[in-house]
C-alpha cells in the first residue's frame, strides 16, 4: 500500500470507515492488493490513512463480511481469492454476466431504494449528493464515472439500514456498473456522453425520491434506471 494517504482519509464524519472500505475494495479489485497478500498492520493503516483504530477495525469487519479478506488471529489479515471465504462471489467481467447481474439488481435495488427512502439520514443524503456531484464532474471531463456511480448505489444500499444490501454491493464491486464494460475510447464519444447524462438524470430522480421519503417513487425510479441501463448497455453492443 502506498505511503501517501488516500483522499478519502481526509473526509470527516461517520463515513470514514466506508471510505476506507471502498479504497481497499478498489485496490483488491484492481489487483493492487493481490490474493493471498497480507494487509499492513493496524498501526500502519492508521498512519497511512489518517484514521482511528476504531475506523480501521470497522472497515476490516465490513471487508470480512464481504468475503474480501480473512483475519487469522495472531497472524494478520489476508486478501482472499475469488471463491474463498464461503460467501457469495459474483463478478461482472463479461457482457453476458453484466446483463445477468442487472437482472439480480433489478430484483433487489428497487426495494433497497424504497427502504432507503424510509430510513435515510441527513448524512446519507449529503454523501449521495456528493457522489452525484463527483459523477457529474467526471462526466464533464470525459473521465470514467464508474466509481462515483457505484458509490451512489452503495450509499443507497447503506441507507436501508440493512447491512446485507451493503454486503451485496461490496461483493459485486464496480464491475456491476455496465459502463465498466465500455471500451475506454468510447467514453468520450457523443453517444456515450448522452447516455451517461441520461443515467445521471435517473440517479437524480432516485435521490430526489429518497430525499422526500417517497418510498414508492424511489422504488419506481430505481426500477426505471436499471431497466434503462440494461437497454443502453445492450443497445450499444
CATH 1.20.120.530 holds for 95-235:
yes
Contact call for residues 8 and 25 (beta carbons, < 8 A)? no
Q: pTM score > 0.95 for this model?
A: no
Look up residue 159 and give its three cell numbers.
Answer: 441507507
> Domain map of the chain by residue range?
7-79, 95-235
Q: Helices (H) and strands (E) in the chain — how many of each? A: 9, 2
Q: Where are the alpha helices (DSSP H) in 120-214?
A: 122-140, 146-159, 163-172, 190-211
Give 3-state DSSP helix, strand, coil % of the chain, rounded to 5: 70, 5, 30
Look up residue 80 and give its three cell numbers.
Answer: 482472499
Taking Cα atoms as reference points, which of 6, 29, 27, 28 lies closest to residue 174? 29
Q: CATH code for 7-79?
A: 1.10.10.10
Per-residue model confidence as pLDDT tens digits over 20-79:
988 898 788 777 888 889 999 999 999 999 998 888 988 888 788 777 888 887 888 999
Amino acid at each position: 500500500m502506498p505511503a501517501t494517504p488516500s483522499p478519502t482519509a481526509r473526509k470527516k464524519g461517520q463515513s470514514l470507515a466506508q471510505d476506507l472500505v471502498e479504497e481497499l475494495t478498489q485496490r483488491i479489485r484492481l489487483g493492487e492488493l493481490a490474493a493471498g497478500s497480507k494487509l499492513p498492520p493496524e498501526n500502519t493503516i492508521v498512519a497511512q490513512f489518517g484514521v482511528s483504530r476504531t475506523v480501521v477495525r470497522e472497515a476490516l469487519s465490513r471487508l470480512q463480511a464481504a468475503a474480501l479478506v480473512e483475519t487469522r488471529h495472531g497472524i494478520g489479515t489476508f486478501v482472499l481469492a475469488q471463491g474463498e471465504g464461503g460467501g457469495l462471489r459474483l463478478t461482472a467481467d463479461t457482457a453476458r454476466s453484466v446483463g445477468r447481474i442487472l437482472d439480480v439488481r433489478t430484483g433487489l435495488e428497487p426495494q433497497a431504494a424504497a427502504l432507503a427512502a424510509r430510513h435515510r439520514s441527513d448524512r446519507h443524503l449529503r454523501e449521495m449528493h456528493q457522489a452525484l456531484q463527483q459523477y457529474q464532474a467526471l462526466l464533464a471531463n470525459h473521465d470514467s464515472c464508474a466509481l462515483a456511480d457505484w458509490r451512489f448505489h452503495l450509499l443507497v444500499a447503506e441507507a436501508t439500514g440493512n447491512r446485507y444490501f451493503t454486503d451485496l454491493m461490496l461483493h459485486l464491486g464496480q464491475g456491476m456498473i455496465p459502463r465498466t464494460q465500455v471500451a475506454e475510447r468510447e467514453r468520450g464519444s457523443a453517444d456515450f456522453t448522452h447516455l451517461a447524462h441520461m443515467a445521471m438524470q435517473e440517479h437524480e430522480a432516485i435521490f430526489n425520491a429518497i430525499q422526500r421519503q417517497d418510498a414508492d417513487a424511489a422504488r419506481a425510479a430505481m426500477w426505471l434506471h436499471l431497466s434503462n441501463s440494461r437497454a443502453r448497455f445492450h443497445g450499444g453492443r
